[in-house]
Structure 1
Amino acid sequence: MQPQWFKAAALTDQQRSVQLQSSRRVSKKTLAPLSLFSLVAFSMTPAYAANSSIEQVTIYQGLASVTRALPISGSGEQTLVFSCLSPYLDKDSLSVQAANGVNVGEVSIETLSGEHAAQCQYQGDANVQQQQATLADINAELEAVRLAKAYLQNLTKVTQINTDSTLANNARAIETQAASINKRILDIQQRQARAQETLNQLMAGSATSTRNSVTQVSVRTASRIPSSIKLHYQVRGAGWEPTYQARLNTTTEQLNITASAIIAQQTGENWLNVPLTLSSVNPNQNTSGRLPNVERLSLYEEDQRRLAKSTQPMMEAAPVIVSARDSYGDAALAPTGAPLPSFTVSSQNKNGIIEYKLPQRVSIPSDGRHVRTVIDEQSGNSKLWIRSTPSVETAGYWYASAPFLTPAWVDGSLQLYRDGNYIGQSRYRYQTLKEQGIGFGIDSNTIVKQITDEDKQGDKGAFNRTQTLTKTQAYQFTNQHNRNIRLQVLGSEPVSRDDDLKVTVTHTPPVTERDWNDNQGMVAWEFELPSKQSKVIKSTSQVSYPASKKLAIN
């Protein structure tokens, strides 16, 4: 069902003439006081009332693009009205598109308040409308019963009673009818109270947010045949963000990641049962690159300070999204009957801009509530290991690789589950997770203990004295699992930035990788550690430099 709260009116020249002649025949004595809505309807006398339907909503970060359509009925010159639009509508973004054979004239944009905004308040909330209709039926029923009671009261006053027997019979009949009517009135009043309370609750939590003003757009058209026009505009107050759930099974080494989109909007418009697309574009970012700085050289006295150079922060890359796979399993497992709807989200890459198109229509009320929908789900075999950085913390952590990670996944929050237990929250960043893996919490069955921590300092040479600093560290790793584990130990070695500063490092056993993940000075050991066994890693570094100088670290 399309929204019912965007009304349109069209009026031809011939209809205006008929309206004028009809209005002249109306006697002033018959005119009753009219509300503002009635005055508007009376002055225009639309030949038909059409609904402005939403054909597409595309949500970006911080705003949305909306496309609405209105039918053109009949032929000739007409004015179509898109009413009850968002007060936050970007007027500069308005554009009108018409089919061939339709001429478009001026476009009028108005901001309406007061009763106009009140009329838009709860129109379009199906639950509120239904409850209002229910309450109206109850009120009508109550009024009818009260009318019957009043008739009965008047009847007893004017009826002539001739005999005692007739009086007794009539009295009993009147009492029976009065008792029945009074009971009906009481029952209806109780239903009325319950219906009113339900309506109040619905309106308090209605999908429509309170608005003090609305936008109305009028489009002047001319057409020889029935057709339609479309209105495009941007509106602020809408956005979406990705969120992820990673579930790791350490026994089967299976990893599953579900990507969802959390959508919310407070535009002042209710989007009920609308086609929806999520775009990775951030319209708030820069739209063009900066020009290079030109160095202008000149000479200064030696004691003058150089002018400081200003640097600009790097522009964040536009986020992108991946496509989703079918969330249904084997079709043979589905119940018999009509096929179930598929909620598989499709995606399209438009030169770096990823669009997520939801297959089903979605309702997103304008009250800021979060609407969540799954946009992707990937799973596969993962490589598991225990990582320890003993110089920072004497502990081991579970890590898993995810071969199916892609740079198309946008940064977002990451909920972590290991063996069915929620262990905490991290951040989904593709580059970091691709290089370092996904951490799944501390492993209490890997015991890390420091067994050596020595620092020695001394001098060498008689004339050209050299200062030396020797540091030795050793750690023991014990596997208390009932199975072998793959252990990765991260360490570091000093990096010299001075030709007079010499560094020698010895690792036992030798390291597996230097400059781990292109990080200068980081080293890594990787090995299998059998169940219930231990292994010791030892590193010794010696730094030598002229005694006339002082050592600065970092």
Structure 2
Amino acid sequence: MQAHSSKSMTSLVSVTANPQLIANASLGMSSNKWLPLSLVTTAALTMISPSVQAAASSVEQVTIYQGLASVTRALPITGNGEQTLVFSCLSPYIDKESLSVQALGNVNIGEVSIEELSGEQAAQCQYQGDAKVQVGQQSLATIKAELEAAQLAKAYLQNLTKVTQITIEGTLTNNTRDIEAQAAAINKRILDIQQRQVRAQDELTQLMAGSIASTRDNVTQVSVRTASRSPSSVKLHYQVRGAGWEPTYQARLNTQSKQLSIIASAIIAQQTGENWINVPLTLSSVNPNQNTTGQLPNVPRLSLYEENKDGVVTVPPMMEASIVMADASYERSAKVAGAALPNFTVSSENKNGIIEYKLPQRISIPSDGRRVRTLIDEQSGSSKLWIRSTPSQEMVGYWYASAPFLIPAWVDGSLQLYRDDNYVGQSRYSYQLLKEQGIGFGIDPNTIVKQLANEDKQGDKGAFNRTQTFTKTQAYQFTNQHTRSMRLQVLGSEPISRDDSLKVAVTHTPPITERDWNDNKGIIAWDFELPSKQSQVIQSTYQLSYPANKVLSGDY
């Protein structure tokens, strides 16, 4: 933890005594459950030292990463001289090593103290940040103060009638009437105040029932000692775990107008123990849990060894050490590879590979785990449509659309698909994959795929034959049942030989449009326009030739 200032920087010390208990004992308010923490703490700290200021800090910025958030809070310095500012009701999950303090202007920073509070002190923080609850608490506290004053006046009047000696004859009746009138007025006032108290308590109970506040058993309090000659402010920076966000996208395709729109949203949730109410928010693509340094290469350590006569292999000690090192390296690599990949999203700024998106509006995110969704971007434009089929895998056709307006900054996330205002399913948004292959929008029932041939033929292997052959023929028919012409793309494959003695001869009817489709070796593609109510047959034949003394293996 660090404390920064334009003039001074000192080390961390332990926190002072508990101010809340002193407040309750000194003010006689231990039974005042709803008195706002800021009022109680301010009064208590004032009794300890007149230079202590305690108030609810304002959140100036929240940046959410994967699994944690960075928070900046501020407190004003209202006077001059030496003062202690108290940042109260902070999350119990603060990373204390990340704390840093920054002062604006001509301010010196002294020691920074951290304290863990629990019990009644933490309960007072429960509704901090909920303005309606705070107003209700203050209103109820005012009513209770009025009631206590009225009851005190009544007790005073009762004692006055007991100790006062009325010696002047003739004034007895008048004094009695005055006392009765005052007593009646006080009783009526007490009754009115009690009725107001009941109504205020009911309203506060309803507010709390619907409040976004979260129950906290423990809270963190940070005290900062300052010295200044003029009003200024102090900022507290820290990191807290329990926050995260993920992207989600919606793609909507109109097959008639060929218009495609993609909406990008962010789903945010946090359980840090702090309620972030109406705060500026930034979403970052950084995963703080990732490795920050690269690994060094393994150095091969080689040696020679001899086999014993009984066939047992003796391994030198150096080789054993080398094997252990290799296994450990493998375990580290497997651990990194097996870690769950974080989901990221769009940002308005790319900081040399770190993507940030600053929300234009302030947002409220309570610390109860609820999912808050906000729109962050939208792109739309004209698209090219086609039907894609891979008949060797599935004899159907799928709608596909191109998206030339895709943004590289949009990172991987879930993608909901709508075709002609109907939800057709869910996929995955991946910029590189969708840019190359297009976006699939479900099965097209108006494209009929039928298999016409799937024949295998093994060549004869005689005594004098040095080679043998294997021939495979596949044929499919595609029929367009649409009322308009459709572009059809058919994907197939060609065998790949990994042996010089294995020869492959392939023929396609009609000729293919592309070989090694999208740089995928062995995948072929036909692209053609298929008129309405028309059919097209595609046939592929490949022949494998290899030595008769060898066995063919692989998928064929």
Shorter chain as denominator, the TM-score bin is 0.7 to 0.9
SS in 2 for 1:74: coil
Matched, 1:232 2:237: yes
Partner of 1:364: 365
Deviation for aligned residue 1:361: 1.5
Partner of 2:274: 269
Cα contact 1:281–1:319 (8 A) shared by 2: no
**Aligned pair in 2 of structure 1 residues 34, 45: CA closer, same or farther (>3 Å)?**
farther
Cα contact 2:246–2:343 (8 A) shared by 1: no
Deviation for aligned residue 1:553: 0.6
SS in 2 for 1:92: strand
Partner of 1:402: 403
Cα contact 1:511–1:524 (8 A) shared by 2: yes
* CA deviation profile, 1:345-396 (whole Å, cap 9, x unmatched): xx22211112111222211111111111111100111111000000010000
Matched, 1:481 2:475: no
Deviation for aligned residue 1:460: 4.6
Cα contact 1:320–1:352 (8 A) shared by 2: no
Partner of 2:154: none
CA distance in 2, matches of 1:66, 1:33: 36
CA distance in 1, matches of 2:205, 2:397: 56
SS in 1 for 2:436: helix
SS in 2 for 1:94: strand
**Aligned pair in 2 of structure 1 residues 134, 68: CA closer, same or farther (>3 Å)?**
closer
**Aligned pair in 2 of structure 1 residues 233, 462: CA closer, same or farther (>3 Å)?**
same
Partner of 2:56: 51
- Which of 99, 122, 129 is the equivalent residue of 2:127? 122
CA distance in 1, matches of 2:451, 2:45: 84
**Aligned pair in 2 of structure 1 residues 300, 417: CA closer, same or farther (>3 Å)?**
farther
Counterparts of 1:465-480 in structure 2 under 5 Å? 465-480=466-481
Partner of 1:446: 447
SS in 1 for 2:511: coil
Specify the code of the residue in structure 1 equivalent to 2:433.
T
**Aligned pair in 2 of structure 1 residues 488, 120: CA closer, same or farther (>3 Å)?**
same
CA distance in 2, matches of 1:205, 1:39: 31
Deviation for aligned residue 1:129: 3.4
Listed as ranges, the gaps of 5+ residues in structure 2 are: 1-21, 31-39, 152-187
Deviation for aligned residue 1:106: 0.9
**Aligned pair in 2 of structure 1 residues 198, 251: CA closer, same or farther (>3 Å)?**
farther
SS in 2 for 1:208: coil
Deviation for aligned residue 1:298: 2.4
Counterparts of 1:128-139 in structure 2 under 5 Å? 128-130=133-135, 132=137
Specify the code of the residue in structure 2 equivalent to 1:63.
L
Deviation for aligned residue 1:116: 1.0
Deviation for aligned residue 1:91: 0.2
Stretch deviating more after TM superposition (211-220 or 295-304)? 295-304
Cα contact 2:345–2:411 (8 A) shared by 1: yes
Matched, 1:78 2:83: yes
- Which of 214, 223, 227 is the equivalent residue of 1:222? 227
Cα contact 1:77–1:221 (8 A) shared by 2: yes
- Which of 103, 107, 113 is the equivalent residue of 1:102? 107
Specify the code of the residue in structure 1 equivalent to 2:379.
Q
Deviation for aligned residue 1:547: 2.4
Cα contact 1:320–1:408 (8 A) shared by 2: no
Cα contact 1:479–1:531 (8 A) shared by 2: yes
Cα contact 2:45–2:52 (8 A) shared by 1: no
Partner of 1:297: 302
Deviation for aligned residue 1:322: 3.9
Stretch deviating more after TM superposition (39-48 or 50-59)? 39-48
Partner of 1:515: 516
Stretch deviating more after TM superposition (425-434 or 292-301)? 292-301
CA distance in 1, matches of 2:261, 2:277: 33
Deviation for aligned residue 1:429: 1.0
Cα contact 2:68–2:240 (8 A) shared by 1: yes
Cα contact 1:83–1:215 (8 A) shared by 2: yes
Deviation for aligned residue 1:503: 1.1
**Aligned pair in 2 of structure 1 residues 537, 139: CA closer, same or farther (>3 Å)?**
farther
Specify the code of the residue in structure 1 equivalent to 2:288.
P
Partner of 1:254: 259
SS in 2 for 1:90: strand
Specify the code of the residue in structure 1 equivalent to 2:376.
I
- Which of 62, 65, 69 is the equivalent residue of 1:60? 65
SS in 2 for 1:290: coil
CA distance in 2, matches of 1:198, 1:223: 43
Cα contact 2:51–2:84 (8 A) shared by 1: no
CA distance in 1, matches of 2:442, 2:450: 19
CA distance in 2, matches of 1:431, 1:31: 67
Matched, 1:286 2:291: yes
Q: TM-score, length-normalised on structure 1?
A: 0.77
CA distance in 2, matches of 1:384, 1:44: 74
Matched, 1:546 2:547: yes
**Aligned pair in 2 of structure 1 residues 535, 432: CA closer, same or farther (>3 Å)?**
same
Stretch deviating more after TM superposition (464-473 or 514-523)? 464-473
Specify the code of the residue in structure 1 equivalent to 2:79.
G
Deviation for aligned residue 1:456: 0.9
Identity %: 74
Deviation for aligned residue 1:141: 11
Cα contact 1:138–1:192 (8 A) shared by 2: no
Listed as ranges, the gaps of 5+ residues in structure 1 are: 1-22, 24-29, 147-180, 324-346
SS in 2 for 1:222: strand
Cα contact 1:258–1:374 (8 A) shared by 2: yes
CA distance in 1, matches of 2:446, 2:306: 66
Deviation for aligned residue 1:48: 5.5
**Aligned pair in 2 of structure 1 residues 412, 485: CA closer, same or farther (>3 Å)?**
same
Specify the code of the residue in structure 2 equivalent to 1:222.
A
Aligned residues: 466
Partner of 2:378: 377
Partner of 1:90: 95
Deviation for aligned residue 1:422: 0.8
**Aligned pair in 2 of structure 1 residues 231, 535: CA closer, same or farther (>3 Å)?**
same
CA distance in 2, matches of 1:319, 1:129: 37
Partner of 1:429: 430
Cα contact 2:247–2:343 (8 A) shared by 1: no
Specify the code of the residue in structure 1 equivalent to 2:62.
V
CA distance in 2, matches of 1:78, 1:139: 32
Cα contact 2:109–2:225 (8 A) shared by 1: yes
Specify the code of the residue in structure 1 equivalent to 2:425.
G
**Aligned pair in 2 of structure 1 residues 465, 354: CA closer, same or farther (>3 Å)?**
same
Specify the code of the residue in structure 1 equivalent to 2:95.
D
Deviation for aligned residue 1:518: 1.1
CA distance in 1, matches of 2:149, 2:116: 42
**Aligned pair in 2 of structure 1 residues 83, 520: CA closer, same or farther (>3 Å)?**
same
Matched, 1:245 2:250: yes
Cα contact 2:52–2:85 (8 A) shared by 1: no
CA distance in 2, matches of 1:231, 1:101: 17
Deviation for aligned residue 1:39: 5.0
Deviation for aligned residue 1:127: 3.5
Specify the code of the residue in structure 1 equivalent to 2:277.
L
Cα contact 1:237–1:267 (8 A) shared by 2: yes
CA distance in 1, matches of 2:106, 2:146: 52
Deviation for aligned residue 1:119: 0.5
Specify the code of the residue in structure 1 equivalent to 2:513.
T
Partner of 1:351: 352
Cα contact 2:55–2:86 (8 A) shared by 1: no
Deviation for aligned residue 1:466: 2.0
CA distance in 2, matches of 1:419, 1:32: 68
Specify the code of the residue in structure 2 equivalent to 1:223.
S
**Aligned pair in 2 of structure 1 residues 205, 286: CA closer, same or farther (>3 Å)?**
farther
